[in-house]
Amino acid sequence: MDTPIASARRLKATSTIALVSAACSLVPPPVEVSVVDRMPTGYTTADSALVQDTSMSLSWWEAFEDQTLDALVVAALESNLDIQEAISRIEEVRAQYRIARSSLLPSLTAGTDASRFSQPANAGQFGAIFGDSNEEGSDPNLPERPDRFTFSTFGISVGTAYELDFWGALSSGRRAAYADYLAVGADAQTVAITVAAETISGYFELRDLVTREVILTEVVDLLTERLTLTEDRYQRGIVSSIELYQIQQDLNATRSGLPLLGSQIVSARGRLAVLLGRYPHEVEPILTGVGIPTINLKTIPAGIPARILSRRPDLAAAAFRLEAARQRVGERKAARLPSINLTGSTGTQSAELTDIIRADQWFTNFVASLTAPIFSGGRLKADQEAAEARYAQEAARYAQSVLTAFQEVDAAIAGFDAQRKRKSVVDEQLRAAEASAAAARLRVGQGVGDYVGYLDALRTLLNVKDTQSSAERELATARLQVHRALGGTWVSGSTNAQDSEQRQR
């Protein structure tokens, strides 16, 4: 079994991402998250045989054992527009990480140049040197001055520039960018889980509405027959007008619900189509033959280990952003210290294009510079303080995410247990209603029962079936909330699902 300390350390390790800082890094030490140390023992002492299905992952919804549902979720994950946006965001942040990483390497450039200089001989520096040949008293010993001076220069060069990462600023920037990249990747996983969960929820809603529409139609048929019988009995003076009016009101009230259910079905199909990135008519082939198959709702194993919660993508994203904020504190600190830059270039130059490849025409240039900020009006210090404040914010946000995750799991498991108990009561109610309807049918068949009473028993049975349909949907939704709270599913490495269910019973 995991000890509380070991589980807390595992969750804490997620928040630091195990990124090793540079030797001269000014990054502050990881902040202590108190809510991790105070983790409830009910999670830290859970059976270590319970592990998360790391395939997410790709198939956790198959626990519901419904082929139509599987097809819908797969289609949603392939074409949902929110997921496509999240994937594009990953590509953007990955490119930003490559930009940050490139600053750790020297830059290398290559170029060629050609220049031509032409100037009158009596202008500029040449005029000052040679004087004017037309002036009296000019030195006769000087060579005859040309009318113009013309120079041509051709060159090929390779230049390089490099900043020494003495204080670890560039390394901190790279690690921060990498943490951002991991956070966005975790966000994309959260989006995928959300889309899958909403697709499943929409499917449950649609199935429930279709079932209730069928049941309500049967109730309307029963009430119509009941009204016909009551009118006949009223004509014969067996029943009062009050009973007749009551049946009419029941029929009209029940019939009025059919258009609303039809509208809700259209709306549910439309929402499901949006999740699949399609138009409603494009989803119809997948929904062909939507019935009310029984969903296998397996019992949740007692006790969820903390390491499962630490793999929730939203918790991972919060941990990565916490690390990114920590690295940027070091980056801002280093910005207040001197920086060392090295630049250099080498190549060949020649006045004749044909001589540019000669080895003796080479030249080199190397510059080393040390620059330090002296006065910036407090901007650099304020920038560091802002980074430290953002780090504190991310620490609080991460702690809040941990608390929320545990609360969601507790609430989801409690809700699932409550819905299981409610479903058990509704099943007993259904069995009683079926027995009552069967008894009424038998009495009518034997000629000792009232047919109107039989119709009333059938109506009660249909009402209970309507309640059962809602109970099945709420139970399946409760199970879905557990999957969503855990960021996927779970499997038992030592026991099968049937043994686990027998233990809970």
Residue, of 132 and 395, whose pLDDT is higher: 395
Output the 3-class SS for 129-149.
Answer: HHCCCCCCCCCCCCCCCCCEE
Percent share of the chain, pLDDT over 90: 39
- The pLDDT tens digits for 433-472 are 999 999 988 888 777 777 888 888 998 999 999 999 999 8
Write down the CATH superfamily of domain 4-104+165-337+372-504: Outer membrane efflux proteins (OEP) (1.20.1600.10)
Q: What is the mean pLDDT of the chain?
A: 81
pLDDT confidence bin for 119, thresholds 50/70/90: confident
Does residue 432 register a pLDDT over 50? Answer: yes
* pTM for the whole structure: 0.79
Query: Which is nearest to 306 in space by CA: 118, 116, 98, 48?
Result: 48
Which amino acid, residue 26? Answer: L
**Terminal CA-to-CA distance of the chain, rounded, Å?**
23
Q: CB under 8 Å to 444, separation ≥6 — which residues?
A: 450, 451, 454
In which element (H, E) is residue 60 found?
none
What are the structure tokens assigned to 77, written together?
């994950």
Q: CB under 8 Å to 327, separation ≥6 — which residues?
A: 19, 27, 172, 173, 175, 176, 179
Q: How far apart are CA 484 and CA 281, in angstroms?
A: 29
Render 82-113 in DSSP notation, one character per residue.
HHHHHHHHHHHHHHHHHHHHHTTS-EEEEEEE
What is the average per-residue pLDDT within 83-99? Answer: 93
Alpha helical stretches, state H, 139-238: 169-235
**Every domain of the chain and the residues it spans:** 4-104+165-337+372-504
Give the per-residue pLDDT at 297: 60
- The pLDDT tens digits for 450-460 are 788 888 899 89
Q: Which letter, b or e, does each residue of 3-32 get, where b requires 16 or more Cβ atoms within 10 Å of its Cβ?
A: ebeebbebbbebbebebebbeebbbeeebe
**3-state helix, strand and coil shares in percent for the chain, rounded to the nearest 5:** 65, 10, 25
Chain mean position to CA 43: 25
**Do the Cβ atoms of 317 and 186 come closer than 8 Å?**
yes
- The pLDDT tens digits for 399-416 are 999 888 888 888 888 888
- The pLDDT tens digits for 377-403 are 999 999 999 999 999 999 999 999 988
